[in-house]
Each structure stands twice: as structure tokens, then as C-alpha cells.
A and B are shown apart, each in its own frame.
Chain A
Amino acid sequence: EAQVTQNPRYLITVTGKKLTVTCSQNMNHEYMSWYRQDPGLGLRQIYYSMNVEVTDKGDVPEGYKVSRKEKRNFPLILESPSPNQTSLYFCASSKQLTSGGIPQYFGPGTRLLVL
């Protein structure tokens, strides 16, 4: 089954304790990205990757890191989490955009609470 998986699904942590949220896709997609969703603000892009070893900042990258060492995986790293990073996080993937007909697939989300 084609899917994007994220782990963990729920996470409670404390300020300053490094954490990693994993994202994996089994569709051989080149493009992967991370979004965060906050009430009243919609989904906003954090980072994206066009292919292995190619990453770039989205609209709200501060406080986050990513890596793309393998095509299927795109982990999101919070080196020193703060309470304003409490949010619902989504990973997404798609084939590289060659026409307007390329849909994006989203993972189930990771709900993060930073105390």
C-alpha cells in the first residue's frame, strides 16, 4: 500500500530536549516536505527536499533541521524544542513536479507538545 508514515504519532517533551520525528514514504517520490498546522494559521511549510542530499527552507524553518540521506526518509529534527513549536506536524511527498497533475500525499500527522 502506497503511504507516508510518521513516528511517533504523539509526543510530549520538555523544553530543550532534542527530538526527531521520522517520515518515510514507499512510493519512490523525489519530493518530500514538512508542514506544521496551527489553529487559524493553516498548514505552513517548514522544509522541503527535491531529492537526496538536496534540502531547502520553507516558510517557517527557524528551530528545525532536516536531512535527506536516503530517498525514502526525511526526518525532522528539533535540536532544542520550545513551547512555540507545540503543533501538529505533517510530512508530505510527491513525484517531482513536471505537470500540474502531480498530487501530494500526506502522512497521518505527529502531535507534539513541548512543556
Chain B
Amino acid sequence: KQEVTQIPAALSVPEGENLVLNCSFTDSAIYNLQWFRQDPGKGLTSLLLIQSSQREQTSGRLNASLDKSSGRSTLYIAASQPGDSATYLCAVGLTGGGNKLTFGTGTQLKVEL
């Protein structure tokens, strides 16, 4: 059974700092990995999707990497801003699992002025 773990569970950083969020998964037979952002009272916003054949994806100040063999993904946020404060979730789609996503429990990020 696929298990997804995110460390740390919470993180507080000063504005402007570069930071890394970690995601690990137990089954390397993945189809893709998706990073989401969740704001209080709102739904999940997809940030980046990495296919199993890819090593990384970039969007603006965000960069996500994938290492299937070690079962790890990282989300790098450059020059953090208070507006980046949210909970970040990683979700893994398994090969043969259809469209089902297995989620981690998230990292709650607070960027302080």
C-alpha cells in the first residue's frame, strides 16, 4: 500500500528565505506526482505535476523535483513571500491505480514579515 509522508508538518520562515518542502513515498511505481496548495476555506490548487519520466518541473518561483528510485520529491520555493503561507500537499498517482491520488498529510507553511 502506497504511503506518502511529508516533513516537516509545519514550517515558519522569514520573508525572502528560500525553502524546501519534502515528500516521500513508499511505492516507486508511480504514474505522476502532484503538488497542491490548500488555503483555509478554499479548495486545492494544483501547483506542479511531474510525470514519472520527468525529473523536475518549474513554475515561477516554484521548482519540484522527483527521484523515483529513492521515493522522494521536493518542492523548492524561492524568495518566499507572506502570500505563500498555506498548506502544501503532495499526492502520488500509482501505475495501475487509475486516476486515484494518494496524499500526504501536508506541510503548513507560514512566511512572516
Contacts and interface: CB of A to CB of B under 8 A. Distances in A.
A55 interface: no
Interface of B: 4, 31-32, 34, 36, 41-46, 49, 51-53, 89, 91, 93, 98-101, 103-106
Interface size class of A (residues with CB under 8 A): 20 to 34
B32 A50 contact: no
Interface of B is mostly: strand
B32 A100 contact: yes
A100 B43 contact: no
B18 to A, nearest CB: 26
Which 8 A-B pairs have CB atoms at the shortest separation, nearest pair first? A100-B51, A100-B32, A106-B44, A108-B43, A43-B103, A42-B103, A42-B105, A31-B99
Contacts of B46: 103-106
Given A97-B31, A103-B34, A104-B34, A45 B49 contact: no
Interface of A: 4, 31, 33, 35, 40-45, 48, 50, 58, 90, 92, 94, 96-97, 99-109
B105 A50 contact: no
A97 B98 contact: yes
A100 B99 contact: no
A9 to B, nearest CB: 9
Nearest to B33: A100
